[in-house]
Each structure stands twice: as C-alpha cells, then as structure tokens.
Chain A
Amino acid sequence: MSAALNLSHEPVTKIAHGKMAMWAFLASELMFFTGFFGTFIVLRNTNYQAFYDASHHLSWPLALLNTFILIGSSLTMALAIYNLERKNNGMFQTYLGLTILGAFGFLIVKYFEYSAKWADGLFPGQENHTLFYSFYFIMTGFHALHVIAGMIPMAFMLMKSYTKGGYPYPVKVETLGLYWHFVDLMWIFIFPALYLIFP
C-alpha cells in the first residue's frame, strides 16, 4: 500500500470498504433471521405439543449430514482464501471448486428432504402441522437461497481464475468468505432449533 490516500480502505481503521460493508450486511442479515428465531421460540413454547409432534417427521440424520457438508465447505473456503493470498492459483481453484461442490451437495440433500416432506403432505396450508412446517420451509428455504446466492459469485470467481493471471482480487474472495461462513453460522443454529431440541 502506498502512503497516498487509498480509497479502497477506510482511512482511519484501514479496513477494506467491501469487508466493512459485508460485516454491516451480515449484521442486518442476523436481524433478519432474528425475526424467524424469535417468533419460532415464542410459538414453539405456546404450541409445544403441535411442534413436538410435527418435528418428529423431520429427518435429523440428513440434517446432520448437511451440517458436516457445510462445515467442510467453510473449511475449504477458508483454505481457498489462504491459498489465493499466497498466489497458489491451483490450490485456490481446487478449494473453491470443493466449496462449490459442498454447496451443491447441501442442496441435493435438501432436495431429498423437501421432496419427502412434500410427498407426506407436510407443507404449509395442509391440515396437519402447518405452523411448524411454515417455519421449517421458511427458515431452511431462506437458508438454501443464501447457499444458492453464495454459489453464483463463487462460480464466477472460479471461472475467472482460469483466465490469464488467475483471479486477481483476494479481498473480494475474503469478503465472499465472510458471507459463506455466515451461511454456515445460521445453519449451526437452525439445525438444533428445528431438528434437535425436542428430545
């Protein structure tokens, strides 16, 4: 970095603007999910039996598998950033590719989960368990949308890394990584909240 005023970073804290913006965005995202969790907790405790019965139709082993997939893709994302910062373009491509593969795997498992629920008539608007499954589909659905939204820039970066000179902006990958870890964080809460805490 030169001593001249560099507009890519906030001048006082020296944090890259993109990174700062991503943290602010994630803060607002947390507030967005807070709405779901807050209402879920209140309605769960006021409709305990209904939620208890409905949650037993969920497949926690599939969700456990998805948890491991997401944790793994978080690790590969962190390793992709590490390698790009050290200009190891080949390793960057491998790890970013693995991250995208993990995201795909997550969505495939989700597809099987959703189609099983659909076949059993467990979705909002049905006679049984409609409240719980409204939460289930909205919370996991928005989470899955976040996964898809993360895959798009990842695929773009991976494609760009095959052009001459590789992918030139490590800080952008780092910023996307923050987002990707956040998607993992939300799943860490959704997993016990929906699948586990009805012992």
Chain B
Amino acid sequence: MGHDHGNVIPAYMKVFFTLCAMTLLTVAAAKLVHFPDVGFVHGYVINITVGLAIAVFKVICVMYIFMHLKFDNPFLRFFVYVPVFLFMVLSFGLNLEFGKAPSNQHVTRTVYQQLHPGEHKAGH
C-alpha cells in the first residue's frame, strides 16, 4: 500500500506488553478479587464489569494500533462504531430482565440465593 505510518514498532511493542499485562489483570480480577456489594449492585456484577472493561480496553488497543484505525482514514471507524453500538444494544439490552423466576431451572443468581438462603454454591 505504501502509506507509511513511520516507525510504529515501539507502538506495537507497547500494545503487545499492555495486552499481556491486561490479560493477567483480567485473570486476577476474576479469580482472586471478590468485590463487595455496593448498595444494590452485587459484587459479582462489579467482577464482570471489571473483566469486560479490561476486554474493551484491550480491543481498543488492538483496533487503533494493530489494525491501524488511528492512522488510516477516519471513514473506516464507522465500520467499527456502528456494529459495536448494535453489539451493545443486542447483547446487553436483552439482559435487563431480572428477577422473574418460575423454577430453579430458570433463575438469576440473585433469585437463586433468595430461594436457597444459606447456600453459597453460586460463588463467594
């Protein structure tokens, strides 16, 4: 293609080591840390949020540096922004239903713990 982005190797190496460190951080956040409940937000929700936030940060690093979104024509960013928006809407928008629990086979963790007080099989 020939358009030159200058010497990008230091940026590549920085992204590589950031990704490695963030991967270890994800594992640590999921396996070692149990966040306490904050108000009505359960601790495990914070665990998940932290894990996904780190994943999003890693993805941004890869897209902007490895996939050259930072250097290329900004027009290409629309191919990212639009599907990412739809991805968020479709995956998380479907997820707002909580609490209706017809049976043990169909419960959220919160409801499971209400139905089985004292049982801590589900984490912590």
Contacts and interface: CB of A to CB of B under 8 A. Distances in A.
Interface of A: 13-16, 19-20, 23-24, 26-28, 30-31, 34-35, 37-38, 41-42, 45-50, 52-53, 60, 64, 67-68, 71-72, 74-75, 77-79, 82, 85, 170-171, 174, 177-178, 181-182, 184-185, 188-189, 191-192, 196-199
B73 interface: yes
Interface residues of B, number: 61
Given A15-B72, A38-B91, A181 B82 contact: no
A184 B61 CA distance: 12
Nearest to A38: B91
Contacts of B26: 191-192, 196
Contact of B79 (A24, A45, A75, A170): A24
Given A185-B62, A196-B51, A27 B79 contact: yes
Nearest to A75: B16
Contact of B62 (A23, A28, A34, A181): A181
A170 B66 contact: no
A181 B66 contact: yes
B2 interface: yes
Contacts of A197: 30, 47-48, 51-52
A45 B105 contact: no
16 contacts: A15-B76, A37-B91, A48-B109, A50-B105, A52-B109, A68-B20, A74-B16, A75-B15, A75-B16, A78-B12, A82-B9, A185-B59, A188-B55, A188-B58, A196-B30, A199-B124
Interface of B: 1-2, 4, 8-9, 12-13, 15-16, 19-20, 23, 26-27, 30-31, 33-34, 44, 47-48, 51-52, 54-55, 58-59, 62-63, 66-68, 72-73, 75-76, 79-80, 82-84, 86-87, 90-92, 94-95, 97-98, 104-109, 112, 121-124
> Which of A49, A72, A174, A199 has the most C-beta atoms of chain B within 10 angstroms of its own C-beta?
A199
Contacts of A68: 20, 23
A197 B67 CA distance: 27
Given A185-B62, A192-B26, 19 more contacts: A24-B79, A26-B79, A27-B82, A38-B90, A38-B91, A41-B92, A46-B108, A52-B123, A64-B23, A71-B16, A71-B20, A79-B12, A82-B12, A170-B1, A174-B68, A189-B55, A192-B30, A196-B30, A199-B30
